[in-house]
Amino acid sequence: MHHRTASTIVLGITAALALAACSPGAPENRPADGAPARTHSPADNGRGDAVLSSPELASRLLGESDLGAGYTRKPERPAGNDDVTVLGCPALDELGADAATGSAGGLDFPRRAKAAFAHSSGAEVTEELYSDAAVKLSEGTGRIFDAMTGCPSYQVLAGSTPIDITTQEIPAPRLGDERWSHLLTFSSGGAETVVKQTAIRDGSVLLIVSGTPALVDQHLRAAHAKATAAG
């Protein structure tokens, strides 16, 4: 059994765990554009996109002015505070071990930026940006999404709190070079919350938007446009 912090196991599951504890019931899921949940394409498309630095990525994150009224940016949580154990999904357990050794099994890309927002309705949305060689982004992200959707149900222990998780692969919008999307249903202490998570790789930039499904649908295109804007 391998132990890793939440942020290195399942694509920002820390934010999802927070949503599971405090969010209202899940809004209706509306698959976007009917595109496959996973679309394969050549990893670099021959474009040779430049790798962006963390400050450059941070400047491309959505802010309150982009999101509209009612949003407040949440303070960043210290890394390494959530000890998570994966139960019932050997593939994810193995990815935890890979992340611990610094391989591309986890999202340990050094160039990164993240912002999380709470809406006055109680809903939340988180945006993450990563930059690396296209093939590294493709392989690392694909392995984790494939592992998660390959385990339709599993459990994590967040500290001493058991959380049951089910996953469902869903269509993703036709953006970027590769895309992945799924719904995660978190059940703990009699409460159930649905979180949508969509990843878009566009050249050397990886965008992940997760949170309340309606907010992910609402802001994904704007996040992609800003993340990939030239200059």
In the chain, what percentage of residues exceed pLDDT 70? 70
Can you tell me the distance from the alpha carbon of 92 to that of 208, in angstroms, rounded to the nearest whole number? Answer: 19
pLDDT for res 159: 74
DSSP state of 157: E
CB distance 193 to 184 below 8 Å: no
Evaluate if residue 180 carries a pLDDT over 60.
Answer: yes
Mean pLDDT of the chain: 77
pLDDT digits (tens, 9 = 90+) for 47-92: 557 899 999 999 999 999 999 999 999 987 665 545 677 888 887 7
CB distance 195 to 19 below 8 Å: yes
Can you tell me the distance from the alpha carbon of 103 to that of 91, in angstroms, rounded to the nearest whole number? Answer: 15
pLDDT for res 115: 95
pLDDT for res 96: 60
Exposure b/e, 82-120, CB count within 10 A at least 16 = b: bebbbeebeebbebbebbbeeebbbbbbebbbbbbbbbe
Exposure b/e, 124-147, CB count within 10 A at least 16 = b: bbbbbbbbbbbebbbebbbbbbeb
Nearest to 219 by CA among 112, 76, 71: 71
Nearest to 130 by CA among 150, 166, 104, 156: 104
DSSP state of 25: S
**Helix residue spans in the chain (DSSP H):** 6-9, 13-22, 54-58, 64-67, 90-100, 134-150, 213-227
List the domains of the chain with CATH numbers: 3-227 (3.40.1000.70)
Mean pLDDT to the nearest integer, 84-102:
62
Reported as a pLDDT band with limits 50, 70 and 90, residue 231 is low
pLDDT digits (tens, 9 = 90+) for 5-61: 333 334 444 444 444 344 444 333 343 444 444 554 544 454 557 899 999 999 999
Q: State the CB neighbour count (10 A cutoff) for residue 47.
A: 12
Mean pLDDT to the nearest integer, 138-145:
87
Reported as a pLDDT band with limits 50, 70 and 90, residue 105 is very low
pLDDT for res 201: 96
pLDDT for res 224: 98
pLDDT for res 203: 95
pLDDT for res 133: 93
pLDDT for res 16: 44
pLDDT for res 77: 67
pLDDT for res 155: 86
Q: What is the pTM of this model?
A: 0.78
Nearest to 22 by CA among 85, 84, 76, 74: 74
Can you tell me the distance from the alpha carbon of 62 to that of 126, in angstroms, rounded to the nearest whole number? Answer: 10
Evaluate if residue 2 carries a pLDDT over 90.
Answer: no
